[in-house]
Each structure stands twice: as C-alpha cells, then as structure tokens.
Amino acid sequence: MKTLILLRHAKSSWDYPELSDAERPLNKRGRRDAPKMGKWFKKNCNTPELIITSHSVRTLATISKFGAELGLKGKDYHTEPKLYHATPSGIWDITKSISDEVNSALLVGHNPGFTEFVNQLCPSQAIDNIPTCGIFGVKLHCSTWQEAQEAKAEFMFFQYPKNLPS
C-alpha cells in the first residue's frame, strides 16, 4: 500500500508585476493558511516519508510554513522543477519515479494539473477545484509506485483552509 498526498500551494501575491510567475511570493492569506493546514495535517495524518515540491517561490514558502508545523526543515523535502504547472501525465511520471522504499509521499504543486490529476485518481470524488492550500490524499493499492494507477486509488481525504474553523 502506498499513500499519495497532493498539496496545492497557498494563496500567492499578484502585487509585484515585475516578477515572473515562478517568483511570486505568498500573500497574507497564504502565509496564514499554510501553517493552519500544517496543524490540521499533523493532527489527522502521518508525516509523509518523502516530500517533493515545485521550485516556485510560492510552493517553497507553502511547504516551509506547512512543514514547520510538522517539525520539518528544508533538508526534509526535494525540489522537482517538473512539478511546476505539471499536467496529470507529468504528475504520474513523478509519482512513478518515487523509490519503492518510500510508502508515503507528498507532492506540492499547482493547478490546474493537481485538480485534473485527483479527478482522474478518484472520479467518484470529483471536485471542481483544489483551492489554494487545499490537500487531497489517496491510498494506492499497490506495492510499487510503478504499479500505481487510477483503478488502484482509494480516496482518503480532501481538506482546505476555508473548510476549517478560523
């Protein structure tokens, strides 16, 4: 059994038009929501064995604030530029490349790819949108990441900041 969790980056700022998309920082709400979701995750889930994040400023800031609630440091996650605006097939490629020694992995990335990917994984739990800082978890009934596929996915949870008490 493998566990796959997807965390969309927290709300980013559009206040700096001179920055590229990858360089946009979190806004005030994003800086508030990432630790809030980290606290929820710590209370309800096990810390993943592997964390892979897009290289964008907003994903790195999200996992830094989220991970601080779990006691994680920067050395505890890996940057994967291919996660930056990855399509569902790109997300599958990254997932299937995870070492089989790892049983639980957290990917930190972007929409629309994340929402499209989870809707492929769990069509019975289809969602319109993973909101910023939303998190979606599935169990994959397989012994290797290479065997992972939609037919082997079992919905675990879907949570997001506006769904939690203030």
pLDDT digits (tens, 9 = 90+) for 24-61: 999 999 999 999 999 999 999 999 999 999 999 999 99
pLDDT at 114: 98
Residue 84 is given by DSSP the state T
φ/ψ of 120, rounded to 5, equals -70, -40
Average pLDDT of 71-97? Answer: 94
Q: What is the tens place of the pLDDT at every residue in 64-79?
A: 999 999 999 888 899 9
For the chain, percent of residues with pLDDT exceeding 90? 92
Beta strands 2-8 and 104-109, pairing class: parallel
Q: Residue 136: in which H helix or E strand, if any?
A: strand 135-140
In the predicted model, is pLDDT for residue 151 greater than 90? no
- Radius of gyration, CA atoms only, the chain: 15
CB 96 within 8 Å of CB 145:
yes
Peptide bond into 25 cis (omega under 30): no
Q: Among the listed ranges 42-51, 66-75, 83-92, 134-143, which one has the minimum average pLDDT value?
A: 66-75
Helix extents (H) in 9-158: 28-44, 57-68, 88-96, 113-121
Helix/strand/coil for 126: coil
pLDDT at 166: 76
